[in-house]
Chain A
């Protein structure tokens, strides 16, 4: 798996698929049983400081000392980075309307997320890694956050990697999608390719011959109708033509149907 520079990569998969584990591996919080991890083309051994200097991190739970206020948190985080910019930090604090003198534990989930984000963005990080940044946020702030992230990546100097359960987030800002299941990558493609390749097929069950069935990732049957996901819309169109209805598959459909499907079909 490779995360491409300058792009926004969304990371999806069911609960327990291994998203957080992957993120922790990238952050060197876990050791890999096999395989190797390189960040900016470097391995962590001997390069830990260099690598982390260039990463901004946002975790799904609060990792900051909750009894401290933002001023004190800044005193701990800021000196850790060579490229820390107080100006940038205070600009984000202002933008996010965060209080400087209140303890982190009094912050709402959204404020904690904004705190993480402000800290992650104030040291000119090239690679920003976020574990479910939009989970638990209200729809208004979620959209604001996505707009901020979108803006950050406009000049293509920053790489963004984030996991999410909310597939509309991906449709809004992701360039590429990595989908994992049980620790394996099911696909890693641009969002455009995914939307072109995956389609939802609806039709009468008597059309389901063995050969046709093989072309589907998973089939949902009711009494005489079926609904199925294919990753080869072209082929289905050729063999079944007008007998079936072919619709756009949302990412949610893809996640739902691939769950339980065997990998070779995907």
Chain B
């Protein structure tokens, strides 16, 4: 499995060299942006790039012809993405620190939570959808959710005061812990779903 995780680094060697300037760009020009957003983008950089690279070639045929099981191939994606997320956030943190971009530990926690949430939703798509359609699907998904989410949240805030009262009554610690727990559980459920889908796939 370690080899499969390492593979994602090898296949995007040139992209990884761009990672540092990419984060530096945010550190210099995105001072109005919330730091958690920079951490989130940084953490998704390697895992998503890895999927996109894998799609361009018949990598499924290659990986499944090598002595790996399908379980391992999916596991490597999920475990690998968590490892790369931690490394990327660490590197991004160092860069932001060097550029005097203020951030709190809270930003990192929020980014990690959102990373798990986003990964849980998108990773299975790479196993369901046909290669080439995923980029379009994610773009449409983002636009639709950007359009629908704020009114939906406003509706919830306005009409379901019981829920909002409950949420605001929680202490921040409880809120963070439960948020993290929920997104990690979603990530694990997503892993299981991807594994089931991938095991039935034909190439």
| Chain A contact residues, CB within 8 Å of chain B | 24, 27-31, 48-53, 55, 57, 59, 61-68, 72, 75-77, 79-81
State whether the Cβ of B58 lies closer than 8 Å to any Cβ in chain A: yes
Complex contacts, B66 vs chain A, CB 8 Å: 52, 77, 80-81
Q: Is the interface of B mostly helix, strand, loop or mixed?
A: helix
Chain B residues with CB under 8 A of A24: 202-203
Contact of A57 with B58 in the complex, beta carbons under 8 Å: no
Q: Per-residue 0/1 for B161-203: is the Cβ within 8 Å of any A Cβ (1 yes, 0 no)?
A: 0000000000000000000000000000000000000001011
* Identity of the chain B residue whose Cβ is nearest the Cβ of A80 in the assembled complex: B66
Which listed residue (A50, A52, A59, A68) contacts B61, Cβ 8 A? A59
Q: Which of B56, B69, B202 contacts A29 (CB 8 A)?
A: B202
Instruction: Tell yes or no: B99 within 8 A of A by CB.
Output: no
Q: Is B59 an interface residue (CB 8 A)?
A: yes
B67 lies within 8 A of A63 (CB): no
- List 5 interface pairs A-B (beta carbons < 8 Å), by A numbering: A24-B203, A52-B66, A63-B58, A64-B62, A80-B68
Q: Which residues of B contact A64 (CB under 8 A)?
A: 57, 62
User: Taking A76-B3, A76-B7, A76-B10 as contacts, is the C-beta distance between A28 and B57 under 8 angstroms?
Assistant: no
Given contacts A29-B202, A29-B203, A65-B59, contact A48 B69 (CB under 8 A): yes
Q: Which B residues fall within an 8 A CB radius of A?
A: 3, 6-7, 10-11, 13-14, 53, 56-59, 61-62, 64-69, 200, 202-203
Least CB distance from B138 to A in Å reads 22
In the bound assembly, the distance between CA atoms of A155 and B7 in angstroms comes to 35
Known: A29-B203, A66-B57, A80-B68. 20 other contacts (CB 8 A): A27-B64, A29-B65, A30-B203, A31-B202, A48-B68, A50-B67, A52-B68, A63-B57, A63-B59, A65-B53, A65-B57, A67-B53, A68-B11, A72-B10, A72-B11, A76-B3, A76-B10, A76-B11, A79-B3, A81-B67
Query: How far, in whole Å, are A27 and B64 apart by their CA atoms in the complex?
Result: 8
Chain A residues near B200 (CB, 8 Å)?
A: 31
Residues of B within 8 A of A65 (CB): 11, 53, 57, 59
Question: Which of A57, A59, A68, A76 neighbours the largest number of chain B CB atoms within 10 Å of its CB?
Answer: A76
Shortest distance in angstroms between A109's beta carbon and chain B's nearest beta carbon?
Answer: 16
In the complex, A68 Cα to B14 Cα: how many Å?
A: 10
Q: Considering the chains assembled together, what is the distance between the CA atoms of A12 and B108 in angstroms? A: 59
User: Distance (Å) between the CB of A123 and the closest chain B CB?
Assistant: 9
Which residues of A lie under 8 Å from residue B3 when comparing CB positions?
76, 79-80
Q: State whether A29 and B64 are in contact (beta carbons under 8 Å apart), knowing that A63-B57, A66-B57 are contacts in the complex.
A: yes
User: A52–B67 contact, CB under 8 A?
Assistant: yes
CB-based nearest A residue for B70: A48
Give the Cβ gap from A167 to chain B, nearest Cβ, in Å.
27
A77 to B66, CA, bound (A): 8
CA distance A61 to B58 in the complex (A): 9
Residues from chain A with a CB closer than 8 A to the CB of B65 are 27, 29, 52, 55, 57, 59, 63
Smallest Cβ-Cβ distance to A53: which chain B residue: B67
For the complex, what is the distance from the CA of A79 to the CA of B11, rounded to whole Å? Answer: 15
**Do residues B57 and A49 form an inter-chain contact, with CB atoms below 8 A?**
no
Residue in B closest to A81 when the chains form the complex, CB atoms: B67
Q: CA–CA, A24 to B64, complex, Å?
A: 10
Q: How far is the CB of A144 from chain B (nearest CB, A)?
A: 25
List of A residues within 8 angstroms of B11 by Cβ: 65, 67-68, 72, 76
Give Cα distance in the complex from A64 to B57, angstroms.
Answer: 7
* Contact call A62/B57, Cβ cutoff below 8 A: yes
State the Cβ distance, B55 to closest chain A Cβ, in Å: 11
Bound-state CA distance A76–B54 (Å) is 13
Distance A65 CA – B66 CA, assembled complex (angstroms)? 14
Closest to A24 in B: B203
Nearest-neighbor residue (CB-CB) of B66 within chain A: A80
Which residue of chain B lies nearest to A46 when distances are taken between CB atoms in the complex? B69
Give CA–CA (A125, B200) in the complex, Å: 27
The CA-CA distance from A144 to B96 in the complex, in Å, is: 58
- Cβ contacts under 8 Å, A31 to chain B: 200, 202
A35 to chain B, nearest CB (A): 16
Q: CB distance A75 to B203 under 8 Å?
A: no
Task: List, in ascending order, chain B residues with CB within 8 A of A63's CB.
Answer: 57-59, 61-62, 65
